[in-house]
Amino acid sequence: MNILLMTAIANDPQDSKGLADHMPIGLGYIAANVKKLTDYNIDIIDVEHKGYGIDDLINIISNKSIDVLGISAFVSNYLFCVEFTNKIKKLFPNIKIVLGGPFPTSTPDLVLEDCSVDVVVKGAGEMAFVDILRNLDCDPDYYKKHHNVVIGYFPDDMDDLPSPDWKLMEYDTYQYLPPWSDFPILSSRGCPYRCNYCYKINGDMYKERSIDNLFNEVLVVVNELGRETFMMQDDLFFVKPRRVIEFCNKLIESNLNIQWSAISRIDLINEEIAELLSKAGCKSVGIGIESGSKDMLKAMNKKLSLEKTAKNLAILRKYNIKQMPYVIVGYPGETLDTLRETEDFLIENKIYSAMTYSFPFPATELWEIALSRGMLPELREYSSRKSFDVTKFQWNFTSLEESVFFDYVESMKSRILSAFIDNYLNNNIDKLDDADNIFIYGVGFLGRGLFEKLQNSQYVKKIKSFIDDDPSRNNTDYMGLRVCKLDDVKITKSDLCIIANSYFPEVMEKKVKKLDDSIKIIILA
C-alpha cells in the first residue's frame, strides 16, 4: 500500500506565508508510526512549504501509485479541501481520502457534506491512521459499510510513539530552521484547563512522554540533526512542575549548552522552576495572560490571579527569561474600561503583546456565545472566509461601535509598545549616546516600533540600516532603510546593534559578537 500525507492550502494564500517554514510535525509523527507498525510505503508533502498549487498536486499524484491520501487541515483550509478532494475523487476514484486535523475534528458533518472524503479522523491521528490503513488493506470498502468518522486515541504509554520522521519531512529544507533557530519538539499532548475560547483537538485528555524518552529525542536533535535550539511545542509544557524540574536537571547535567523555549500558564511558574529554567538554557516562555481585567479573565474561564501573574512575571525577569505574553481583546463583555485595565497592566509589568482579536473557533464556548448573539455567520459561510490570520482577523464581540473599538485597540497597542521600548532605551542612554552608528537587528513589530521611536529623537541620524536573516529581505527597503544580512554590514566597536526580536535574541547576540566581541548591544525583547 502506498500512502501520501500532505498539508493543505489556506483559503487566502497570504495566510500560508507564515506557516511555510514550520515543519508539519503532526504528519511526521503519523508517518513514523506507520513505518514502525506496518510495511506500507509512506511519503509527506508540505504543500505550503513547497509552494504547490492544486494543479501541481494533481500532477504529482498522477505520477505516483497512491492508494491512500491523508490530508491535515485547519478551518482556514476549508475551500481547498472542498475543491481538491472533489477533483481528486473525479480523477482518481480509487484513491481513499482521509481528512484529519482541527478542522474535521471540530466540524465532521460539514466535511462529510462538502468534501469527497472516505474517512474523517477526530482527534489524534497516529494510532487511528494505522487502524484505517489496515482496515482498508483488508477491505477497500470498509468505511462504506461502517461509520466513516474515526475517533483518534493515543497508546497507553506515550513512549511507544516514535519520534517524528524528520528526514521524511525534509527538515533541512526549512530556511527558518538553521542551527540558530528553534526546532519543534513535543513532550506531551493535550491540556487539562478549560478556557472557553480555546479549541482542544484532544479534548480534556493530557498524556506525556517520559523524561528519559524526551531527553533522548533532544540528544538526536542536537547531536544528529545539528540543532542548537528547540521549542517545546506542547499546549502546556508546565502542567506538572515536578516533570519540568526533572527535565531541567537532565539538561543541566548533560552540559548540552542548548537554548530552548516553551509555553506555560503564568500561575505554574515559581522561583524554583524559573531558576532551573534559566540554568537549563530556557530563554523564553510563552504565557497566556489574555487580559489585565479580572472581569474578562472570568468571562474567558481563565482562572488566573492578576496579582500572581504580576509576581511571576517579575520572577521570570529576575532570571532573565523573556516573557512572550498572549493577550486577547474584543471578548464578549469587553468595554473601554476593561481595555484600559489591560493596557495599564501590561505597561506596569513592562511587557508587550502584539495582541489578537477574539477568534471564534468552531465547537468552542466562545463560538456558541457569539453564534447565539447573532455575531457570526453559519458554519459553512464562516469556513469560506478568505483570511484566518489571527493577527489580522478583526472580530468585535463587544457592545462598542466598530470604529470606537478598533481605533482604541490600535492606539492602545501603540502606547504599550512605546512604553515597552522606552523602558529599554532609558536604561541604555549611555550606549545610545556613545554609538557612532546604530543598526537595528530584526524586521518586525519590535524593529518597526523602535525605528519609529528613534525617528523622533536625536539619534535618528545614527541609524544606518536594518539587519535581518531572511534572505528574501536582503537589499530590500523597509521604512526607508536598507535591509541587509549581518555579513554585509560593517559594525565596529564604536557602533551599537539593537536586537529587536523576541525569539532567541541571545543567539543573534552571539552572531554579532562573532564579528567583534566589543560591539555594544542592546537586546530589546
Domain assignment present for residue 366? The answer is: no
Q: Are residues 440 and 349 in the same domain?
A: no
Domain assignment present for residue 169? The answer is: no
- Please give the radius of gyration of the chain, using alpha carbons only, rounded to the nearest integer: 24
pLDDT tens, per residue, the chain with 525 residues: 999 999 999 887 665 555 557 889 999 999 999 999 999 999 999 998 898 999 999 999 999 999 999 999 998 899 999 999 999 999 999 999 999 999 999 999 999 999 999 999 999 999 999 999 999 999 999 998 888 999 999 999 999 999 999 999 998 888 654 444 578 999 999 999 999 999 888 888 899 999 999 999 999 999 999 888 899 999 999 999 999 999 999 999 999 988 999 999 999 999 999 999 999 999 989 999 999 999 999 999 999 999 999 999 999 999 999 988 999 999 999 999 999 999 999 999 999 987 889 989 899 999 999 999 898 889 999 888 766 666 666 789 999 999 999 999 999 999 999 999 999 898 899 999 999 999 999 888 889 899 999 998 999 999 999 998 887 888 899 888 999 999 899 999 999 999 988 766 777 888 899 888 899 999 887
Phi, psi of 253 (to 5 degrees): -65, -25
Q: Are residues 354 and 312 in the same domain?
A: yes
d(CA 396, CA 452): 28
Strand order through the sheet with 520-523:
476-478, 481-484, 463-467, 438-441, 496-499, 520-523
Helix and strand element counts for the chain (H, E): 21, 20
327 pairs with which residues across the strands?
Answer: 290
> Contact, 68 vs 96, CB < 8 A?
yes
Q: Are residues 408 and 432 in the same domain?
A: no
Domain assignment present for residue 386? The answer is: no
Residue matched to cell numbers 508510526: 33
Q: Are residues 94 and 139 in the same domain?
A: yes
- CA-nearest of 399, 351, 364, 441 to 75 is 364
Q: Rounded to whole angstroms, what are the CA distances from 386 to 12, 51, 90?
A: 5, 18, 25
Q: Are residues 201 and 339 in the same domain?
A: yes
- CA-nearest of 122, 127, 94, 88 to 108 is 122
Q: Are residues 41 and 183 in the same domain?
A: no
Cβ partners under 8 Å of residue 21, min gap 6: 49, 174, 175, 176, 177
Last residue of a domain, one of 379, 404, 424: 424
> Contact, 136 vs 143, CB < 8 A?
yes
Domain assignment present for residue 458? The answer is: yes
190 pairs with which residues across the strands?
Answer: 206
Structural domain range at position 94: 2-151
CATH code, domain with 480:
3.40.50.720
Q: Are residues 192 and 90 in the same domain?
A: no
Domain assignment present for residue 260? The answer is: yes
CATH code, domain with 332:
3.80.30.20
Q: Are residues 216 and 352 in the same domain?
A: yes
Q: Are residues 344 and 478 in the same domain?
A: no
> Contact, 35 vs 63, CB < 8 A?
no
What type of residue sits at position 200?
Answer: K
End-to-end CA distance of the chain: 50
C-alpha cell at 254: 548533560
Last residue of a domain, one of 106, 136, 151: 151
Specify burial of residue 109 (Cβ count, 10 A radius: 0-12, 13-18, 19+): exposed
> Contact, 6 vs 69, CB < 8 A?
yes
CATH code, domain with 10:
3.40.50.2300
d(CA 100, CA 459): 53
As for how many domains the chain has, the answer is: 3
Domain assignment present for residue 164? The answer is: no
d(CA 102, CA 50): 22
Q: Are residues 144 and 227 in the same domain?
A: no
Domain assignment present for residue 191? The answer is: yes
DSSP 8-state class, residue 459: T
CA angle 111–74–4, rounded 5-degree value: 80
Q: Are residues 410 and 499 in the same domain?
A: no
C-alpha cell at 1: 500500500
Q: Are residues 143 and 239 in the same domain?
A: no
Domain assignment present for residue 365? The answer is: no
Last residue of a domain, one of 424, 441, 470: 424
DSSP 8-state class, residue 221: I
Residue matched to cell numbers 530552521: 177
Phi, psi of 223 (to 5 degrees): -85, -35
